[in-house]
Amino acid sequence: MSAADLDVLTTPGVRMGCDLVEPSEIEESLRVFGVRFTDRVFTERELRACTGSDAIARLAARFAAKEAVAKLFADPDLAIPPTEIEVVGSGGAPALELHGSLADRARRDGWRDLRVSLSHTRCHAMAVVCVSCPGTVSPGSGARPAQ
């Protein structure tokens, strides 16, 4: 790693993450694993929020949000318990809450203003997340240190 790379890693910035999920995959996991799947992945609030004819797509969007937040941590060795990443809110703008070890890690890394946006159709569900981090930039963001 060059000195310029290290400068990039210490530049304050916004990290972004996204993920795309097919609701049919969630449907299949529900069919095969049932409550073992839902208990491992979703919180009670998330399960209560995802009702209606598009319940599976809404769960898929929340699954995508968890994967997208995992990208924000940018640490392949970090354990990511899915229920420690929670999408809160139903029927309006969603928000993210972190719990347990991931909340501790985010606090240590100085995360501020964690945000999420969801979208879903019958075939696709997606999430985009972003967070402000002091002293870091998203890998591959193309950012360069000031000359």
Ligand X SMILES: CC(C)(COP(=O)(O)OP(=O)(O)OC[C@H]1O[C@@H](n2cnc3c(N)ncnc32)[C@H](O)[C@@H]1OP(=O)(O)O)[C@@H](O)C(=O)NCCC(=O)NCCS
Instruction: Name the residues that contact ligand X, by CB under 6 A.
Output: 58, 61, 90-94, 118-120
Q: Cβ of residue 55: shortest distance to ligand X, in angstroms?
A: 9
Nearer to ligand X, 78 or 95 (CB): 95
* Cα separation, 87 vs 134, whole angstroms: 24
Residue 70 CA, chain-centre distance (Å), reads 5
What residues contact 114, with CB distance under 8 A and at least 6 apart?
A: 69, 72, 96, 98, 106, 129, 130, 131
Nearer to ligand X, 9 or 95 (CB): 95
Place of tokens 């898929």: 60
Place of tokens 């790693």: 1
Q: Which residues define the annotated binding site?
A: 19, 67
Q: Cβ of residue 14: shortest distance to ligand X, in angstroms?
A: 18
Q: Cβ of residue 62: shortest distance to ligand X, in angstroms?
A: 7
Helix (H, G, I), strand (E, B) or coil at 100: helix
Q: Cβ of residue 118: shortest distance to ligand X, in angstroms?
A: 4
Q: Which residues define the annotated binding site for Mg(2+)?
A: 19, 67
Nearer to ligand X, 120 or 136 (CB): 120
**90, 69 in Cβ contact below 8 A?**
no
Nearer to ligand X, 46 or 84 (CB): 46
Among candidate residues 78, 111, 109, the one with its CA nearest the CA of residue 97:
111
